[in-house]
């Protein structure tokens, strides 16, 4: 895995990312309704140290501070999400909270535009209005209509200024963590072989409805892009020579990234791997049909092609092999039948699930290119965490960004991946969901024990802004590169010195000649005067 020199395309966009619940605070400010994450974090035992997002980074009250950091980084775009219950406290469009809700986002967006930073707005980053959860949340298909109504108000009110929309962030996590393992809100885990699939089904429909609404009603006038962000690890066979391990890797990719990507980016339907595995196991369990719901033909038509780009969140890689579960076990995991390990040589991070394996980044980008017919891709999240006391010099994060972004560069230059932008996670330390504030992904440190919540750059903030400034990794052989803060070296210095000396030399010569000329003229004149006075 050699280091590769080169730069990204001219119009490549660089950014940082955040999400509403993780940074805003103001959980009940100015008429905001509760979200499922307010409910979840307020139940003791759900979150590490029983922490919550009541105040978080207080971004609700710190627009100026956040803009200041973004400007210092020199990013071209800022990806953030809107809190649905801040705008619709009851989840429905009969209760628009203009004062506290839209107002805040309007101020933020205006400040971004004034700073020449493009807003990338995610409509849903996991904080469903609790009022909608009370009627079943994403398991109840009326949520599709609710999401469409929510999206409509945002396109109407913010669409003149926002030209880059993401409908849903990581539907996989909403479905699997929220309704499968229950480790994320709403914390449902008692039907792990059904609920995640029902939820996934409604998420896909909700995304498609919002996309069509924008496409048909707003696009012509507003001219923006709208798509979805899908997350996935890269699955590498534990033993590349074992057919079983290779198949396990393929299953992992289809059950993870392919669950949502295949319907949207391919044919409107789930991939064959998922359809076959879940059907076979369901029938063997004595059920009359698959636990994976089916789309009707018109639903498939409605979902197929509802994208303007592929939004990708990627952090890590796993090594896969086959795992057989007892026949009776009904769960997403047993349907998938893949066990994973990591390589002991990979560096670790502040999160158990996150190992540093940059090669997987290039592979997943290429896989998306090949599997989904070369869509334009935006990486909407990528980054690494640490734990423990603040250390300014976060060498591990600089290493992570250097190696991961370098693999992305290889994907672009060597593999022809149509990568349009890269957005780092995250702008600043924030509430890392059920892991609380201990896992820190920020380029900026936030001191959560100081009520003023001061932000302070880590060394990686400066490093990332250098990558942005250089638009990648310029080749030292073609240097010096002022974007690297590079000083000319060795032979170059000698040349510069020679050049400078010759200029000094020429100047002093000219000056001498000029002065001498004057002097000789003057002395000539003087002697002439002297002579004439004598005469």
Cβ partners under 8 Å of residue 6, min gap 6: 409, 413, 472, 473, 474, 475
- Nearer Cβ to ligand BGC, position 152 or 381? 381
Output the DSSP codes for 380-438: EE----B-SS--S--HHHHHHHHHHHHHHHHHHHTT---EEEEEEE-SB----GGGTTS
* Chain length of the chain: 535
Question: What CA–CA distance (Å, rounded) separates 213 from 155?
Answer: 9
Instruction: Tell me which residues in 21-50 interact with ligand BGC (CB under 6 A).
Output: 22
3-state DSSP call for residue 318?
A: strand
Residues 415-474 that bind ligand BGC (CB under 6 A): 425, 432, 441
Interacting residue with ligand BGC among 83, 231, 232, 316 (CB under 6 A): 231
* CB nearer to ligand BGC: pick between 8 and 441: 441
Q: Minimum Å distance from CB 464 to ligand BGC?
A: 17
Measured from the CB of residue 231, what is the shortest distance to ligand BGC in angstroms?
Answer: 6
Nearer to ligand BGC, 383 or 472 (CB): 383
The interface with ligand BGC within residues 297-326 (CB under 6 A) comprises 313
Name residue, tokens 């929309």: 165
Q: Give the residue with the Cβ less far from ligand BGC, 19 or 46.
A: 19
Subset of 364-383 contacting ligand BGC (CB under 6 A): 381
Is 10 in the active site? no
| CB-side neighbour CA atoms (13 Å) of 423 | 27
Q: Which is nearer to ligand BGC, 290 or 340 (CB)?
A: 340
Given the residues 65, 236, 381, 439, select the one marked as catalytic.
381
Q: Which residues pair with 310 in a beta bridge?
A: 228, 377
Measured from the CB atom, is 262 or 314 closer to ligand BGC? 314
Q: Does 19 bind ligand BGC (CB under 6 A)?
A: yes
> How many residues belong to the site for ligand BGC (CB under 6 A)?
11
Task: Give min distance, CB of 479 to ligand BGC, in A.
Answer: 35
Helix axes 395-413, 459-470, angle to 10 degrees: 20
Q: Which of residues 116-175 bind ligand BGC (CB under 6 A)?
A: 169-170, 173
Give, in order, the Cα–Cα distances in Å from 190 to each of 325, 367, 452.
18, 34, 41
Q: Kindly report the CA angle at 392 between 388 and 393, in degrees rounded to 5?
A: 100
Instruction: Tell me the Cα Rg of the chain.
Output: 29
Q: DSSP class of residue 177?
A: I
Q: Which of residues 82-111 bind ligand BGC (CB under 6 A)?
A: none
List the catalytic residues. 381
Contacts with ligand BGC by CB under 6 A lie at: 19, 22, 169-170, 173, 231, 313, 381, 425, 432, 441
């Amino acid at each position: 895995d050699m280091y590769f020199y080169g730069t990204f395309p001219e119009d490549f966009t660089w950014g940082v990312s955040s999400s509403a619940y993780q940074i805003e605070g103001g959980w009940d400010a100015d008429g905001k309704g509760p979200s499922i994450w307010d409910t979840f974090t307020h139940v003791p035992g759900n979150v590490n140290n029983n922490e919550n997002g009541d105040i978080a980074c207080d971004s609700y009250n710190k627009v100026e501070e956040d803009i200041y950091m973004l400007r210092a980084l020199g990013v071209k775009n800022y990806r953030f999400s809107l809190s649905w219950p801040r705008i619709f406290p009851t989840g429905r469009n009969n209760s628009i909270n203009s004062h506290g809700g839209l107002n805040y986002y309007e101020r933020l967006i205006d400040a971004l535009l004034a700073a020449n930073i493009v807003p990338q707005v995610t409509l849903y980053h996991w904080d469903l209005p609790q009022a909608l959860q009370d009627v079943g949340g994403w398991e109840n298909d009326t949520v599709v209509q609710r999401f469409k109504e929510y999206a409509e108000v945002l396109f109407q009110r913010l669409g003149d200024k926002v030209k880059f929309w993401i409908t849903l962030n990581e539907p996989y996590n909403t479905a699997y963590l929220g309704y499968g393992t229950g480790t994320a809100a709403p914390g449902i885990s008692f039907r792990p072989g059904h609920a995640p699939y029902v939820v996934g089904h409604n998420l896909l429909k909700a995304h498609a409805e919002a996309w069509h609404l924008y496409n048909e009603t707003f696009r012509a006038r507003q001219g923006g892009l709208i798509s979805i962000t899908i997350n996935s690890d890269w699955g590498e066979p534990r033993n590349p020579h074992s057919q079983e391990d290779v198949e396990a890797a393929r299953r992992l990719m289809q059950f993870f990234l392919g669950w949502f990507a295949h319907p949207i980016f391919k044919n409107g339907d789930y991939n064959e791997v998922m359809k076959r595995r879940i059907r076979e196991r369901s029938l063997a369990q004595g059920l009359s049909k698959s636990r994976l719901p089916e789309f009707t033909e018109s639903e498939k038509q409605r979902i197929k092609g509802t994208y303007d780009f592929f939004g990708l969140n990627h952090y890590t890689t796993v090594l896969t092999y086959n795992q057989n579960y007892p026949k009776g076990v009904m769960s997403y995991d047993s349907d998938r039948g893949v066990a994973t390990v990591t390589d002991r040589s990979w560096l670790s991070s502040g999160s158990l699930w996150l190992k540093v394996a940059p090669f997987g980044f290039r592979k997943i980008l290429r896989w998306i290119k090949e599997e989904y017919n070369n869509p334009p891709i935006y990486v909407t999240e990528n980054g690494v965490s640490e734990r423990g006391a603040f250390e300014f010099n976060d060498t591990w994060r600089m290493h992570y960004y250097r190696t991961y972004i370098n693999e992305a560069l290889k994907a672009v230059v060597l593999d022809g991946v149509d990568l349009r932008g890269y957005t780092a996670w995250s702008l600043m330390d924030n509430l890392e969901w059920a892991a609380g504030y201990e896992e820190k992904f920020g380029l900026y440190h936030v001191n959560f024990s100081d009520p003023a919540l001061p932000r302070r750059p880590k060394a990686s903030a400066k490093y990332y802004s250098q990558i942005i400034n250089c638009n990648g990794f310029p080749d030292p052989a073609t240097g010096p590169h002022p974007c690297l803060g590079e000083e000319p070296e060795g032979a170059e210095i000698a040349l510069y010195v020679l050049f400078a000396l010759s200029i000094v030399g020429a100047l002093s010569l000219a000056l001498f000649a000029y002065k001498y000329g004057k002097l000789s003229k003057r002395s000539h004149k003087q002697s002439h005067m002297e002579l004439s006075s004598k005469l």
